[in-house]
Structure 1
Amino acid sequence: MHKILKIVLLIIGVLSMVFLARIVGAGDEEVKELAANGDTSLLEPMTWIAYIILGITLALVLLFVVVNLFANTATLKNALIGVGAFLVVGLIAYFTASGVETPMQDGKMLSASGAKWVDTGLYMFYFLAVIAAGTMLITGINKMIK
C-alpha cells in the first residue's frame, strides 16, 4: 500500500509541476488575457488536480475518522455526546434568533428565513465562544487551585 501511494503521489506531483510550468511559461499577461476571454484551458488542469487532491484528502479523513470511531466504543460515545451538545446549542440558537426581512446593500431583500439562519449562525458562534472561554477559565482556575 505504501509503494502504491508513493507512486500515485509521484504521478500527481509530476503532473502538477508540468501544469505549473505551462502557467508560468505563459506569463501573467497571457493568463489574464485568456481568463478575460473566458478561456480556462491553461488553468483548468491545475484546478482539476487541486479538486482531486482535495477529494482524496476528504475521503481519507472521513474513512479514518469513521474507522477510529467504531474501533473504540468510548470514542464513539464521546463523539456522539459532542455532536448532541452541538445540536442542542444549534437548536437554542435557532429558537433564539429572530427572522426579520432585511434590506441588503445591493437593494435586494433578505428573506425572513434567510435572516433567521444568519442570526442562528451568529448566535451559535457567540454561544460557543462563551462556552470555550468559560471552559478555559474554569480549567485554569482548577489547575491553580491544585
Structure 2
Amino acid sequence: MGLHKILKIVAFALAIIGAVFALIIMAGDEETAQNMSGNMLYIAYAVLGIVLLLVLLFVIKGLFAGDIKKTLMTVGAFAAVVIISYVISSGTDLNLQPFNDKGLGITESVSKNVGAGLYTFYILAALAIGSMLYGGAKKMLNK
C-alpha cells in the first residue's frame, strides 16, 4: 500500500473523528460542550502537529527528488523580498504612545516587523496578480 493511500485513510479517519466530536459538542448540554472543547483543543494541537510534520516530510522529500537549484532560487527570491520589505519599513511612521498607554508594549522594532510583513504581503500579492494577468494576456494573444 502506497504512502498516498495511507495518508488518505488517515485524513479520512481524522475527518470522521472531528465530525463525531463536533456532533457531540452540538448535541450535548453546555457542561458537556465545555468539557469537550478543552479536549478538542488538545486534539487540534495534535492534528496540527501531524499535519506540519507531514508537510515538512513531503517538502524535504520533494526537495531532494526534484531540481534543488530551482528550489533554492525560489527560496532565495522569497528571502530577497522579505529583506527588501524589512529595509524599506521604517517603524517610526506611527505614534506608538496611544498603544503603550493601553499596556500593549509596542516598540519601534515591533512596528518595523509588522510593516515589513505588510510590505512583503503587498509585494507578493502584486507579483501574483501580475503573473496571473500576464498568463491570461499571453493565452488570449496566442489564440
**TM-score normalized by structure 1?**
0.70
TM alignment of 1:58-73, pairs within 5 A: 58-72=52-66
Tell me how far apart the structure 1 counterparts of residues 106 and 40 of structure 2 sit (CA, whole Å). 36
**1:20, distance to aligned residue in structure 2 (A):** 5.6
Q: Residue by residue, what CA displacement relative to the aligned partner does 1:62-97 show, whole Å, maximum 9, x if unpaired?
A: 11221121022x2x2222111111110111111101
**1:45, distance to aligned residue in structure 2 (A):** 2.6
CA shift in 2, pair 1:68/1:4, >3 Å: closer
Answer yes or no: is the 8 Å Cα contact 1:99–1:112 preserved in 2: yes
Structure with higher RCO (Cα < 8 A, 6+ apart):
2
Instruction: Look up the SS of the partner of 2:90 in the other structure.
Output: coil
Tell me how far apart the structure 2 counterparts of residues 12 and 134 of structure 1 sit (CA, whole Å). 37
Identity %, equivalent residues: 40
Of 73, 86, 92, the residue aligned with 2:78 is 86
**TM-score normalized by structure 2?**
0.71
The answer for the alignment partner of 1:95 in structure 2 is 87
Backbone CA RMSD of aligned residues: 3.4
CA shift in 2, pair 1:126/1:14, >3 Å: closer
Unpaired stretches in structure 1, ≥5 consecutive residues: 36-40
